[in-house]
Amino acid sequence: MLQIVDSELGAAEITDDALWRAGRWKAYLFSSSRRVVGFLLAERIQRGYVARGGASGAVVMGEERPALLGVCRIWTAGEWRRRGVARRLLEEARQEFVYGLKVGRELVAFSQPTESGAALARGWWGELREVHGNKENGKEKAETDETEDKGERGEGWLVYVEQD
């Protein structure tokens, strides 16, 4: 399954040695009529970076933040897109990734987002407005688009770099 997903996403291969390290990875499948139509590969991580959109539309890494759950791969079969499959996989991973703990969205980061993966992350994180804020008088305050003048805009969601 991972080879098919890597091929469709154009993602770098994960070695078997890295994949089988105890406790680092968990795979989630979404099936319908005995066919896999969604896949998420999650990785335990320690940090992510606030995604910033540059003038070219590319995703670049901004300020470092703590993170716990890295979404290494997320894929949905073409005919199943825009039906909530990816969001359901994300919610299942948050609920189950760490035994006894529902991982907060602010601790979820995405690796190698494709254009549609970045759109998924933006939409999913868009439901959570307090994620990326500035401290003002001891309270979190939502960041404004003041950075747009610099050619960057804080997206609010996190990205991370995969480690071998």
Q: Where are the domains of the chain?
A: 2-159
- pLDDT band of 127, cuts 50, 70, 90: low
Instruction: State the Cα–Cα distance between residues 124 and 93, nearest whole angstrom.
Output: 14
Determine the average pLDDT of the residues in 28-56.
88
Instruction: State the Cα–Cα distance between residues 67 and 49, nearest whole angstrom.
Output: 9
Structure tokens at 39: 């896949």
Do residues 47 and 65 lie in contact, with contact meaning Cβ atoms separated by under 8 Å? yes
Do residues 1 and 37 lie in contact, with contact meaning Cβ atoms separated by under 8 Å? no
- pLDDT band of 69, cuts 50, 70, 90: very high
Q: Residue 32: its pLDDT value, please?
A: 95
Q: Identify the CATH homologous superfamily for domain 2-159.
A: Gcn5-related N-acetyltransferase (GNAT) (3.40.630.30)
Instruction: State the Cα–Cα distance between residues 118 and 111, nearest whole angstrom.
Output: 10
Q: Residue 162: its pLDDT value, please?
A: 75
Q: Rounded to 5 degrees, what are φ and ψ at 161?
A: -105, 125
Find the angle CA(84)-CA(158)-CA(145) to the nearest 5 degrees. Answer: 100
Q: Residue 140: its pLDDT value, please?
A: 38
Q: Residue 134: its pLDDT value, please?
A: 35
- pLDDT band of 157, cuts 50, 70, 90: confident
